[in-house]
Amino acid sequence: QLQLAGIDLSDEVLARVGTAVDVGCGPGHLLFELAPRAPQLQLAGIDLSDEVLAQAAAAAAQHDLADRVAFRKGSAAAIPFPAGSLDLVFSTLSLHHWGDPAAVLDEVARVLRPGGAFLIFDLRRDMAPPYYLLLWFATRVVVPRALRAANEPLGSRNAAYTPQEAAQLAAQSRLRGWHLVEGPLWLVIEGHTETENHE
């Protein structure tokens, strides 16, 4: 198994063949971690920031992964891939940024092949008090000044969903085959789409 942002990716997911996309990939760290563990997957990341995408592309070249990991500008609300073309879609710490989360989950359902896997990871707003205090301390004392000025990472916690809210969002979407996994400070919407065409 491989831990992706603290979540174990099962051997079944890692054994998939095809294309996997990180929605809101940032500088691509998770894709670079995944690449050697799933050599049969073609990997891609989308993000809205030109600056971050340039950093990610440069890092891919440094890791000698430019032929395996591609980056393109794109929105979670309009994932730039054809319907039914992806085998794995994942996203970490982006859910709370999405203006219309149910619509993004609709997009995930659209781009996945029948039986495709998905994993949407984020903080949970109702995390246990010790974790809240840890984030508060990090925001006020530990993180670089730029993050502190943006009230991060505490701001992400404040904007995040509770498990109940996340489940409601998933239920309102066209995404099927999902279930919710809860941790002490995080939540995950994960699963597989229907094996027959869900369009």
What domains, with CATH codes, occur in the chain? Answer: 2-125+161-192 (3.40.50.150), 126-159 (no CATH)
CB contact at 8 A, 116 and 107:
no
C-alpha distances (whole Å) from 21 to each of 138, 156, 162 are 30, 22, 25
Average pLDDT, the chain: 85
pLDDT in tens, 38-61: 888 999 999 999 999 999 999 999
Q: Tell me which of 16 and 125 has the higher pLDDT.
A: 125
Q: Exposed, middle or buried by CB within 10 Å (0-12, 13-18, 19+), for 162?
A: middle
pLDDT at 199: 43
Query: How many helices (H) and strands (E) are present in the chain, helices listed first?
Result: 8, 9
pTM of the model: 0.84
Tens of pLDDT, residues 9-42 = 556 666 667 999 999 999 999 999 889 888 889 9
Average pLDDT over residues 176-191: 92
Mean pLDDT computed over 186-199: 77
Single-letter amino acid code for the residue at 28: G
197 versus 112: the higher-pLDDT residue is 112
**Res 2 pLDDT > 50:** no
What whole-number distance in Å separates Cα of residue 163 and Cα of residue 71? 31
